[in-house]
Amino acid sequence: MCGIIGIVSREEDVVPRVVDGLKRLEYRGYDSVGVAVVSAGSLVVRKSAGKLADVVRKAGISRLSGGICIGHTRWATHGPPIDVNAHPHVDCSGSIAVVHNGVIRNFSSLREQLESRGHTIRSDTDTELIAHLLEEGLREGLSPLGSMARALSMVTGSYAIAVLFSSDPGRIYFARMHSPLILGLGEGSNAVASDVTALLDVARRVVPLNDGELGWISATEVALYRLGGNGELVPISPAELASRIKVIEWTPESASKAGYPHFMIKEIYEQPQALLETYNGSVEDPSLARSARLLVDARRVYVVGAGTSYHAGLVFSYMAATLARVPVYPVIASEHPYMGNAIGEGDVVIAVSQSGETYDTLEAVRDYKKRGARVIGVINVVYSALDRESDISLYTRAGPEIGVAATKTFLSQVMLLELLATFMAEHSGALTGSEALEYRRKLGKAPRITQDSIAASDPVARFLGERGSYKSVYVLGRGLGSSIAKEASLKLKEIAYMHAEAYPAGESKHGPIALVEKGFPVFMVATSDSPHISGNAMEMSARGAEVVVTKPADLSLEIPRGIKVIDLPPSQGFLPYEPFILTPFYQLLSYYSAVAKGYDPDKPRNLAKTVTVE
Ligand code: F6R
């Protein structure tokens, strides 16, 4: 999804720093890149479709210099990914440059109005319209800040914007509404960016902005306002601003590849550490026990998320039912609008989101709140919108995840949610206090088990991935295995561009089996709650499928010869270990399949790390 960064400094050194920031934003997914600087009083814009390194070279960005610069990575929404649609966009006079993340909803009517007032609109984007609206404000005699207030009260939709006015060359103007934007307060320089990852080299102290806020930064000052209902500017006091400063703990090293060829493989291998951090940070966190009480006493419990985070929610719903005997409705965030009517006072929703900025998840959360439900956020990025909008925030501590595919954040979510389920079981009476404690003690071994699983999975996954013959596969599981199968198939699809379909194994004979013919690959995610999956393996094999069963080594299944079995580390009959045992194999299979086919596993086509649009 689009990424923004702007830096203003006392030194003339900001262009390479903005390029570094854009590099850190690459993981969000993008198709075009651009920057604007003010140099000798005039605005210079360089932009193009393409990858960052290529655009920097071919557009001559490395030859630019200046003490103020804004940059952008674009993920196309309005208009195709071509040079003219890349950001920054400028007004008719070429003296105002705007970068934007979000979607302006009243785009068509604004465009018509601006054209009828004589503006020449060069791109297909909604962003360019903001530049022309700002131009009108200046022409009416407003200050840059006044023209920002005027323009923003005319647009509807979502935006995080950074703006340069050549008439005010020492300040970057910014505004936020429903799209993430963070101020970075450095020494002799200040910055604004879409996320903390982009700011790691610039500033340790950050201020996450709220919806409806706007202002400016210079090298040494910050001014922040709230936009009132009539477009008036309400100043936010320096004391309030100071009280909102947070210190980032992530380091630039944690966001680098550290010798691995790709972020994805680094992050797969970082899982034991991520799990350990998540475990240590959560096991005695009183917020878990508090959340558990809220959940057990709730009228109804929902878990909402998108993609991989939804799959972690499925694992949670299974654990809550089996361990705590609490039913939990899993909801795909983008589907929530069609079933929101059932929500009311007394309900509790767990919103799971690595980024804490996923549009669909945030919109669902806002609707749950409006209908009287309480919100528990499970979040990896602190100070994100979900963090701020949740009644209780529970943090996974996976560190920055740069690869577009969620890997270490998935298992960290599972760890946290399994811990939460043990607290729920204690509160519901399904487990005694000492039984729940024993569950939690055992979960402390999951990081080590994950490490063993990665070590055992890597050579087999590499062999199968490099063989590279899979085009279309089924991934089947029963019980807990069916949620893991969903996550496995998502990884295979998004990273290895393989048509991978997950199905509950028992359901596969009600239709999907019709596709199976000689050599059709079927992966089975066997978990210890469902030994009868062996029957499904036999059904598939009998129809010629090339069946591969992945299972904990100590799970004994009756499997006839001819079916390949991949034994992973034993789970000692402890079901909560099994996501940690089975998931890494499929992450690695996706990774090695993608690399063997020459795909970039860190930046799969058409995908964005953080999906901040509807
Ligand atoms: C898959 C993946 C996506 C995300 C989804 C939600 O590998 O990364 O499916 O899980 O976009 O993102 P968050 O967790 O940031 O809300």
pLDDT of res. 343: 95
Do 294 and 158 sit in the same domain of this protein? no
Q: Which of 78-82, 155-159, 241-245 has the lowest mean pLDDT?
A: 78-82
Dihedral sign (CA 487, 568, 378, 264): negative
Between strands 374-379 and 348-353, the pairing is: parallel
User: Is the separation of the CB atoms in 212 and 167 below 8 Å?
Assistant: no
Q: Identify the residue whose tokens are 């007394």.
A: 346
pLDDT, mean of residues 333-351: 94
* Residue 64 pLDDT level (bands cut at 50, 70, 90): very high
490 and 430 in a common domain: no
Together in a domain, 491 and 528? yes
- Tell me which amino acid residue 110 is: L
Tokens of 59: 């557009």
491 is known as an active-site residue: no
**Where does a domain end: 444, 475, 506?**
444
Q: Is the CB of 590 under 6 A from ligand 1?
A: no
> Hey, which of 484, 611, 612, 614 would you mutate to test ligand 1's pocket, going by the most ligand atoms within 8 Å of its Cβ?
611
Give the residue among 157, 45, 155, 161 at the shortest CA–CA distance from 111.
155
Shared-domain flag, residues 326 and 430: yes
Q: Phi, psi at residue 330, to the nearest 5°?
A: -80, 135
Do residue 190 and residue 286 come from a single domain?
no
Catalytic residue among 266, 408, 551, 609: 609
Backbone angles phi, psi at 535, to 5 degrees: -65, -40
529/526 Cα distance (integer angstroms): 9
pTM for this predicted structure: 0.79
Least Cα distance to 603 among 85, 4, 75, 57 occurs for 75
Q: Which of 444, 476, 504 is the last residue of a domain?
A: 444
306 lines ligand 1 (CB under 6 A): yes
The rounded Å distance from CA 344 to ligand 1 centre is 27
The range of the structural domain enclosing residue 533 comes to: 452-614
Sheet containing 392-395: which strands, arranged edge to edge?
Answer: 328-332, 301-305, 348-353, 374-379, 392-395
Q: How high is the pLDDT of residue 212?
A: 95
Domain end among 444, 465, 488: 444
Ligand 1 centre to CA of 309 (Å) is 6
Strand, coil or helix: 192:
strand
Is 420 in the same domain as 470? no
Distance 454 CA to ligand 1 centre (A): 22
> How many domains does one find in the chain?
3
Q: Does any ligand 1 atom lie closer than 6 A to the CB of residue 365?
A: no
Ligand 1 atom with the shortest distance to the CA of 410: 10
Task: Give the pLDDT confidence of 450-463 residue by residue, as tens digits.
Answer: 999 999 999 999 99
Residue whose Cα lies nearest atom 16 of ligand 1: it is 353
Residues 215 and 320 in one domain: no
- Residue 608 CB–ligand 1 contact under 6 Å: no
Tens of pLDDT, residue by residue over 489-537, are 999 999 999 999 999 999 988 988 888 889 999 999 999 999 889 999 9
Residues 271 and 160 in one domain: no
Instruction: Confirm or reject: Cβ of 393 under 6 Å from ligand 1.
Output: no
Contacts of 4 (CB under 8 A, 6+ apart): 25, 70, 71, 72, 99, 100, 101, 160, 161, 162, 181, 192, 193, 194
Amino acid at 369: K
pLDDT tens for each residue of 561-583: 889 999 999 999 999 999 999 99
Helix axes 107-116, 127-139, angle to 10 degrees: 40
Ligand 1 contacts CB of residue 307 (under 6 A): yes
**Whether residue 222 is found in the same domain as residue 359:** no
Are 303 and 238 in a shared domain?
no
Protein residue closest via CA to atom 5 of ligand 1? 307
Residue 254 — very low, low, confident or very high, per pLDDT cuts 50/70/90?
confident
- Look at residue 568 in the predicted model and tell me its pLDDT: 98
Amino acid 479: pLDDT: 97
* Portion of the chain with pLDDT greater than 70, in percent: 100
2 is catalytic: yes
What is the pLDDT at residue 88? 97
User: For residue 161, how far is its CA from the centre of ligand 1 (angstroms)?
Assistant: 23
CA 11, 14, 15, 16 dihedral sign is positive
Average pLDDT over residues 322-340: 95
Q: Where residue 438 sits, what CATH number does that domain have?
A: 3.40.50.10490
Are residues 241 and 295 located together in one domain of the fold?
Answer: no
Distance CA 186, CA 8 (A): 10
Residue 392 has pLDDT above 80, yes or no: yes
| 386 Cα–ligand 1 center, Å | 14
Distance 306 CA to ligand 1 centre (A): 6
How many other β-carbons are positioned within 10 Å of the β-carbon of residue 93?
13
494 lines ligand 1 (CB under 6 A): yes
**420 exposed, middle or buried (CB, 10 Å; 0-12, 13-18, 19+)?**
buried
Does 483 share its domain with 570?
Answer: yes
- Ligand 1 atom with least separation from CA of 305: 16
Which of 268, 354, 384, 483 should be mutated for ligand 1, with most atoms under 8 A from CB? 354
